[in-house]
C-alpha cells in the first residue's frame, strides 16, 4: 500500500520533470531570431545562416531537437554560453557549490530555531510571546525578501558597522572572513525561511492538539508542556518534515533575490545575469537545475507525509 503510493508519487514527480523540461525548452527555443542568427550577428547572409543552422542541427524538427537537448542535459552536456562562448558546465560548477553551501547552512540554522519557536508558541497559544511570534512571522511572510535584506544592511552594516554589506568572494578568504562575508545573506534567508516554518510548525501542533487522545490527556490532568512534548510532537513530526521540505523548496526563490542583493557568486546570480543578457542556453541550464531541485524537494515532502502516516506504513 505504502510502497505503491510512494512509487505513484515518484512517477508523478518524474512526469512533472518531463513537463518542466518541455516548458523550459519551448519557452527558450521559440524565439524571434535563433542561435545561428545571434552567433553570426550582422555578418549573416542567408547562405551562412543555413549552413550554420545545419551544423548546429537547427534544421531538424522541434521534437528531435528537444530529445537531443534533453539527452545532452541528462548526460551533463549543458551547451555553450552565448556570451563569451565558455561551456556552461565551467560557468556553473563553482557557482552551484556556493549556492549549495549557502542553502545547506540556512537549513542547518533555521530548522532547529523554527521548530523550537513553533513549539514554544504552540505551548502557550494566546500568550504574549505567541502573539508576538504570530504577528512577527505574519509580517515577515508579507514582505519581499529584499525588504528584510535592506533593513538588515541598514542596521548591521550602515549603522552598527558589524558586517560587510556584500558577500563577494575572492576565493582566498580565511574561514573567519568567509563566515563574516556570508553572515548577511545567511541571516536574511534564515529569517525568510524560519518565519514560514514557525507558522507551519505552530499550526501543525495546534492541529494535532484538537484530536481526541489529546483531549483525553487533558482530562487526565497531564500538564500542557508534557502533552506537547510527549504526545503532540511525535504525531506532528510527519507534517513538520513535510513543512521543512516545502520550505527548502521555497528557498529557491529566496536565493535568487538574496544572491543578487549581496552579489554572492551563486547559481541564482548567474541565472539573473543570463536573463539580463538573454543568454538562453545559460538560463535553460540554470532553470532546469532550480526546477528539478524544487520538484525533488516537493516530492520528498509528499513522501515524508505518506511515510509518517502509521495507517499507510502498517497496512492491515
Sites of contact with other proteins (CB under 8 A) = 16, 19-20, 23-24, 27-28, 31, 138-139, 141-147, 150-151, 153-154, 157-158, 165, 196, 199-200, 202-203, 246, 249-250, 252-253, 256-257, 260-261, 271-272, 274-276, 278, 280, 283, 287, 290-291, 294-295, 298
Minimum CB separation of residue 1 from other proteins in Å reads 24
Minimum CB separation of residue 45 from other proteins in Å reads 27
Contact 119, 201 (CB under 8 A): yes
Q: Is 234 exposed, middle or buried (0-12, 13-18, 19+ CB in 10 A)?
A: exposed
Minimum CB separation of residue 52 from other proteins in Å reads 22
Beta-bridge mates of residue 87: 80
The grid cell for 138 is: 505574519
Taking the least distance from each CB to other proteins, the nearer of 111 and 283 is: 283
Please enumerate in sequence order all residues whose Cβ is within 8 A of that of 278, keeping only pairs 6 or more positions apart, or say none: 82
Taking the least distance from each CB to other proteins, the nearer of 137 and 235 is: 137
Minimum CB separation of residue 257 from other proteins in Å reads 6
Taking the least distance from each CB to other proteins, the nearer of 222 and 265 is: 265
Taking the least distance from each CB to other proteins, the nearer of 62 and 223 is: 62
Only one residue has cell 529566496, namely: 254
Minimum CB separation of residue 98 from other proteins in Å reads 18
Minimum CB separation of residue 228 from other proteins in Å reads 17
Taking the least distance from each CB to other proteins, the nearer of 23 and 108 is: 23
Beta-bridge mates of residue 80: 87
- Closest alpha carbon to 25 in 79, 74, 62: 62
CA distances in angstroms from 16 to 3, 188, 299, listed in the order given: 20, 31, 10
Taking the least distance from each CB to other proteins, the nearer of 148 and 227 is: 148
The grid cell for 107 is: 537549513
Task: Give CA–CA dist 173/171, Å, rounded.
Answer: 6
- Closest alpha carbon to 285 in 265, 271, 299: 271
Minimum CB separation of residue 290 from other proteins in Å reads 5
Task: Give CA–CA dist 71/94, Å, rounded.
Answer: 23
Contact 199, 142 (CB under 8 A): no
Contact 266, 251 (CB under 8 A): no
Taking the least distance from each CB to other proteins, the nearer of 23 and 216 is: 23
Contact 217, 227 (CB under 8 A): yes
Contact 169, 178 (CB under 8 A): yes
Taking the least distance from each CB to other proteins, the nearer of 183 and 256 is: 256
Minimum CB separation of residue 195 from other proteins in Å reads 10
Amino acid at each position: 500500500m505504502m510502497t505503491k503510493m510512494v512509487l505513484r508519487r515518484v512517477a508523478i514527480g518524474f512526469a512533472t520533470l518531463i513537463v518542466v523540461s518541455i516548458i523550459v525548452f519551448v519557452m527558450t527555443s521559440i524565439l524571434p531570431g535563433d542561435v545561428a542568427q545571434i552567433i553570426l550577428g550582422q555578418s549573416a547572409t542567408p547562405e551562412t545562416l543555413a549552413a550554420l543552422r545545419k551544423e548546429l542541427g537547427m534544421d531538424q524538427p522541434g521534437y528531435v531537437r528537444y530529445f537531443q537537448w534533453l539527452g545532452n542535459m541528462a548526460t551533463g552536456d549543458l551547451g555553450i554560453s552565448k556570451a563569451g562562448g565558455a561551456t556552461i558546465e565551467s560557468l556553473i560548477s563553482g557557482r552551484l557549490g556556493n549556492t549549495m553551501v549557502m542553502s545547506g547552512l540556512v537549513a542547518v540554522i533555521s530548522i532547529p530555531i523554527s521548530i523550537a519557536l513553533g513549539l514554544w508558541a504552540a505551548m502557550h497559544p494566546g500568550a504574549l510571546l505567541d502573539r508576538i511570534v504570530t504577528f512577527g512571522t505574519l509580517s515577515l511572510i508579507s514582505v519581499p525578501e529584499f525588504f528584510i535584506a535592506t533593513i538588515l544592511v541598514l542596521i548591521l552594516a550602515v549603522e552598527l558597522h558589524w558586517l560587510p554589506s556584500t558577500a563577494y568572494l575572492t576565493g582566498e578568504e580565511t574561514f573567519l572572513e568567509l563566515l563574516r562575508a556570508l553572515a548577511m545573506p545567511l541571516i536574511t534567508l534564515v529569517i525568510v525561511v524560519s518565519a514560514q516554518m514557525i507558522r507551519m510548525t505552530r499550526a501543525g501542533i495546534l492541529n494535532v492538539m484538537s484530536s481526541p487522545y489529546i483531549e483525553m490527556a487533558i482530562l487526565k490532568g497531564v500538564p500542557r508542556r508534557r502533552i506537547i512534548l510527549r504526545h503532540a510532537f511525535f504525531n506532528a513530526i510527519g507534517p513538520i518534515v513535510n513543512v521543512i521540505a516545502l520550505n527548502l523548496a521555497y528557498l529557491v526563490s529566496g536565493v535568487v533575490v538574496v544572491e543578487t542583493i549581496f552579489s554572492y557568486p551563486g547559481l541564482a546570480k548567474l541565472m539573473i545575469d543570463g536573463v539580463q543578457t538573454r543568454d538562453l542556453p545559460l538560463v535553460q541550464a540554470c532553470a532546469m537545475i532550480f526546477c528539478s531541485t524544487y520538484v525533488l524537494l516537493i516530492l520528498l515532502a509528499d513522501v515524508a507525509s505518506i511515510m509518517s502516516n502509521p495507517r499507510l506504513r502498517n497496512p492491515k
